[in-house]
Structure 1
Amino acid sequence: MRRRFVTAVVVGMCAATFLASPAAADADGPVVETANGPVVGVVDGGIEVFRGIPYAAAPVGDLRYEAPQPVGNWTQPRDATEFGPACMQTPDDLENDPSTEVSEDCLTVNVWTPKADEGSRPVFVWIHGGGFSWGTAAHALYEGRNLAERGDMVVVSLQYRLGSFGWLDLSEAGGSASSANNGLLDMTAALKWVQENAAAFGGDPDNVTVAGESAGAIALGSLLTTEAAPELFDRAILQSGSPGLVMTEDVAGGLAEEFLSKAGASSVDDLRAMTAEELLSAQLSFEQDSEFADVGFHPVIDGVVLDQGSTVAIRDGLKSTVPVLIGTTRDESRYWLLYYDYLDRLPLSYARPWLDSISGGRSEEINDAFLVDRPDLNSGQLMMATATSSAFTMPAIRFSEALSSTGSPVWMYQFTLPSNQLDGRMGSPHAMELPFMFGNLGAEPALLDPSDNVAEYEQLAADMQDAWIAFARTGDPSTEALGTWPQYEQTARKTMMFDLDRGVVSDPFSIERTVWEDVPFDGVTPPLLESNPLTAADTEVTIPVVLAVIGPVWTTVIIVGALALIAGVVTLVLWLVRRRRRRREAQVPPMTQGD
């Protein structure tokens, strides 16, 4: 599974037309009458599975860059035995299975249920990650059968438009005012589908939990502050995502203008006249040669779908009534060792200019503070620890603080079990909790070899699944095995630690909170960097301020530091990815035309 914030060149695309009309279905499979028509699934290990069900019309032709529209009805049973195609992205982004079909006609959901009856089971909805530019609900990690069986609940996964297809602000180019957040509107449409159809699959529409990881968690943090949230879901689980990381309209507009230029277009109509491959090629050009490339695609404060970032919205008085479970892995940033295995061996001098620029020359103090808690870190690992803290841990803490200060129920966790791959150098990286949470221990061999410690891994998976299931059922993740899991509040800051040993600890992030005390992690788009930690070891990092800060009034020094902090983390990863992509371009085969 790739975790990158940019996409690469198109190396082929498969046409996907199966959603155009209902296909022949297996008459022996389970049949469910949805609001749009009957679907026929399969039985897998006693669980009824329905895949590739459309929740919105195909966003093609005049519907490209528009909000999702209702899907048409059908009367004949529709085959729901296979996953639908992934949303538009390059096959390089699907390297676990490059043969995966990709298509604009991708707005589908998948359902796992113990029995499509009148069971009124809890409903668990999953939003996949992928930097808003790649990913698919069909990934083996997200197979919902084990979770549905263990929890006796209905599990749903959804797909949403990615990259420029779902997150491009075309309001100044003849597009709709909400075009910058079409991906977010896709998620909303899928959740409305769940409300309309949960009962038909044996689920309770009044007991819906939505969970997301990485970009899925960022999007879910934004959805929490919309007016529709209380009507769409009852609880939220945010895993390894900076809640509310959003763009301002000015930056989104500049990004769109640059994209139009790269595409040789001047209006949304010009973009609609292009093929999907041409649009992805324009996106590649944008990513290779644009000052906005490091910003990437994110939800946008457009005044239509989103009014402000989620953390700031709560601080400014919005009271969320949705219980939230939130957490991170201990070494999120070390995930990228899978692709750049030298990162943990970089000398500290590579990061010092960046750290000094964001902390007023406090890089030595920051390093010393982290080493108090983790004296075993070498210089490269220390740099990655600060990246994890600033981009993942602290935004989660600030979001939790904002929620708890309003009286909203929130629980926090940290996953610390180290990966047994790469000789343990990854620690507990980004996505490490997913095989355990879904009970699919063998689904991501790059992160975990489950044969290494079968019994203890299976017990950790069982305990973690049971906590997620308990939260989905009751709004409280406490279980018999884990004991009482106290809510997070700003005095004791109780946090559940998931490892081979589980237990609640008080304030495990005290070092991070002290180091970043004066930096407001309010979830704003990073500014543009003219240099980065890998190219500026001996030079000063320059940071033009291109954004207005969202939220409370902070001093100028703190504002610049906060923006630079987030920018440095993102830029480090993006620069490495672009360099790797350029090395691979020589191997790119010709493109194929999709329908």
Structure 2
Amino acid sequence: MKTCKMEIWKEISLVTICALLFQVNPYEAKPIQLSSNDLVIATAYEGSIVGQVTPEAGIFFGIPFSQPPTGEFRWRRPRDPLKYESRYWNATYKRPGCQQVCEEPAPEYSCPAEISEDCLYLNVWVPKRLLMQVKADNILDIDHYAIRDDYRPGGESRPLAVMVWYHGGNFKDGSGSSILYDGRFMANQGDVIVVTTNYRLAHLGFLVQGENGSEEAKGNFGFWDQVKTLEWVNRNIRNFGGDPNKVTIFGQSAGSESIGVHLTSNVSKDLFHKSIMQSNPLGLPFRNLRDAKVFGDRFAESVGCKRNDMTCLRSKSVQELEKAYNKSLDDITNPALISTLFQPWSPVIDGDIVPDQPVKLFLTGQTQNKPLLLGSTVDEGVLFIDGAFSHPVGKLVYDLLLAIIFKQDYLTVVERYPGECKGHLFKCDYRDMASEMATEYIFLCPQRKSVNSLKNNDIWWYIFNQTWSFYEVWGQPACYHHVCHGSDLGYIFNVESLTKFNFTENERGLAKRMITYWTNFAKYGDPNGAQTMSKVKNTQWPSFNQTHQQGMYQALQLTANKDFVMQQPYKEACDFWDKLNRYADHVSMYHHRRKRQHEK
């Protein structure tokens, strides 16, 4: 491939001419390898986009939905993307994930291959049936694929439902381009458009600094990136065969927490229509603005800057910021906020995009009335407890933690979760009991109470109960025989063929059933969908409160062998936590003290 050798790099017009001659985008490092079998064109507001074709889908990797958040735009809200300078945008290869230290299991599949501050890109998967072969044109000089005319604006065919994925990773790592979230199989089987996206993470996504009233002083840049993704989808997805009036947002863990924010925020409410929350730890608190500012001050000082000195902070290299980030992970700004150790860079209650703790807004009915599908794995807490405590936890440490977190309710909680001493007194390990408590208190029970509080009948709850046959992928023995946090991900995207691991036949069936449930929900607002039209025969999934009887509810348990309906799962445990009424309540004793003083 010829290259353009130039000594005067500021002559942008010459770079552009050279790029057009050799089919190279002047702002891209990789030229497109021209082949009529694997190129597909779509259009967007910013210009033409060239992607690739696989047996399952047309794929567009790395489409910019914002300008790079670098230099003076580090710690600022995302901006509209620029129009493309060359014939097309090269969307045949993945762009970097956002700056991070990725510590996910199976990093070759769950972590980005590259990272950069310039990371605000999304990916689009279009079912293969929406593609047609066309002749060479003024975009590509060879025959290629394009989105079928009847699915583009003005076409006769009905556009497809759109599913926008927000990845998990504790708001500190992960990427929409990870192999684990490849959308080709979901798009093909479910006949939907799948979009995955990046958003800024950790200190670059959620730092609170700067003067009062400024963007920097409220943080939550990662959430604003998510909103900008939805704005791009609403403006452009029709050109890919998608329906901007039928957008479902879905995500797991931190991605699911993001969904909870969007459901309780006025900022993005008109940009999506249905939601799927997988493993939302609703019982974990977000930081309030005051504590986030203290946390941010310490971060700034750790990197060698004065508080609120954004010029200094923006001058620091990513390596210098990473050192400060590593120190911040164990920083407890307030003893009452011990739970922030599980999510150090949590989002911030800024009164803007995040008006309050999402669980509190759910419990008071301050959510958007949209169809909702949600659920959790049966052993969510194991991954968190094992990650926090690599050695056995004795009774003294166990009791101390519960006393710090639950204060006056400590004895009540210990009575329900007493733990047991296995073996010799000095070899006790209370991690199993702590994991059970975390699963119920942080995940399952606040979910149940939240949907119990909603007046929405279009709610479906699931319990995922399937361990992986390829358990060694975890890298953590504690998860080998537990249904840990994230166990559902390999099935929901059905990426077996993109990995070195093999599903059992029952696991393949589970993956197909889950994709059918999820995409039915996106298309019809009901996971049961039009089952007569589906090749996958799923169990009939009743809505959460289908019986409409006081106190009665149902959920679907998902397993590889067979899915089945559960009547009032976790009722005893959740009744206990509901009565205690402590979900995300210990976020700030300072806040509650001030409130009580005011009431006096």
Global fold match (TM > 0.5): yes
Preserved contact between residue 68 and residue 185 of structure 1 (Cα < 8 Å):
yes
Counterpart check, 1:434 vs 2:441 = no
Counterpart in 1 of 2:90?
79
Alignment of 1:176-575 (within 5 A): 176=215, 179-243=218-282, 245-266=285-306, 267-288=309-330, 291=333, 294=341, 296-335=344-383, 346=393, 350-355=397-402, 358=406, 359-367=409-417, 379-403=430-454, 406-407=455-456, 409-420=458-469, 421=471, 422=477, 425-441=480-496, 450-451=502-503, 454-478=504-528, 480=531, 481-489=537-545, 491-499=551-559, 500-523=561-584, 526=587, 545-548=589-592
Over the aligned positions, Cα root-mean-square deviation in angstroms equals 3.3
C-alpha separation in 1, matches of 2:193 and 2:213: 41
Counterpart in 2 of 1:103?
116
Alignment gaps of 5+ in structure 2: 1-23, 131-146, 152-156, 335-339, 421-428, 472-476, 532-536
Three-state SS of the structure 1 residue aligned to 2:552 is coil
Alpha-carbon deviation of 1:549? 8.8
TM-score by length of structure 2 reads 0.77
Q: For 2:77, give the aligned amino acid.
A: A
C-alpha separation in 2, matches of 1:67 and 1:195: 19
Preserved contact between residue 369 and residue 515 of structure 1 (Cα < 8 Å):
no
Change (3 A) 1:440 1:125: same
Alignment gaps of 5+ in structure 1: 1-17, 371-377, 528-544, 557-595
1:123 to 158, 162, 178: 162
2:31 to 14, 21, 24: 24
1:47 to 28, 53, 57: 57
Preserved contact between residue 132 and residue 297 of structure 1 (Cα < 8 Å):
yes
TM-score by length of structure 1 reads 0.78
Three-state SS of the structure 1 residue aligned to 2:434 is helix
Q: For 2:114, give the aligned amino acid.
A: E
- Write out per-residue CA displacement over residues 191-223 of structure 1, whole angstroms, 9 at most, x where no aligned residue: 111111111111111111110100001111011
Q: For 2:544, give the aligned amino acid.
A: Y
Change (3 A) 1:521 1:475: farther
Preserved contact between residue 99 and residue 117 of structure 2 (Cα < 8 Å):
yes
Q: For 1:82, give the aligned amino acid.
A: Y
C-alpha separation in 2, matches of 1:549 and 1:149: 54
Preserved contact between residue 371 and residue 456 of structure 2 (Cα < 8 Å):
no
Three-state SS of the structure 2 residue aligned to 1:412 is strand
Change (3 A) 1:60 1:144: same
Task: Name which of structure 1's ranges 293-302 and 417-426 shifts more when overlaid on structure 2.
Answer: 417-426
Q: Which has the higher contact order (CA 8 A, sep 6+)?
A: 1
Alpha-carbon deviation of 1:522? 4.4
Q: For 2:519, give the aligned amino acid.
A: I
C-alpha separation in 1, matches of 2:164 and 2:311: 34
Preserved contact between residue 247 and residue 524 of structure 1 (Cα < 8 Å):
no
Three-state SS of the structure 1 residue aligned to 2:161 is strand
Q: For 2:368, give the aligned amino acid.
A: S
Counterpart in 2 of 1:59?
69
Bigger radius of gyration among the two = 2
- Write out per-residue CA displacement over residues 332-357 of structure 1, whole angstroms, 9 at most, x where no aligned residue: 122358868966x6555542343455
Preserved contact between residue 309 and residue 522 of structure 1 (Cα < 8 Å):
no
Alpha-carbon deviation of 1:383? 2.2
Change (3 A) 1:234 1:283: same
Change (3 A) 1:551 1:428: farther
C-alpha separation in 1, matches of 2:119 and 2:457: 35
Counterpart check, 1:148 vs 2:187 = yes
Change (3 A) 1:203 1:173: same
Q: For 1:21, give the aligned amino acid.
A: Y
What is the identity percentage for the equivalent residue pairs of Structure 1 and Structure 2? 25
Q: For 1:265, give the aligned amino acid.
A: C
- Write out per-residue CA displacement over residues 257-306 of structure 1, whole angstroms, 9 at most, x where no aligned residue: 11111122121111111112211122223335553773611221112222
Task: Name which of structure 1's ranges 409-418 and 123-132 shifts more when overlaid on structure 2.
Answer: 409-418
Preserved contact between residue 214 and residue 242 of structure 1 (Cα < 8 Å):
yes
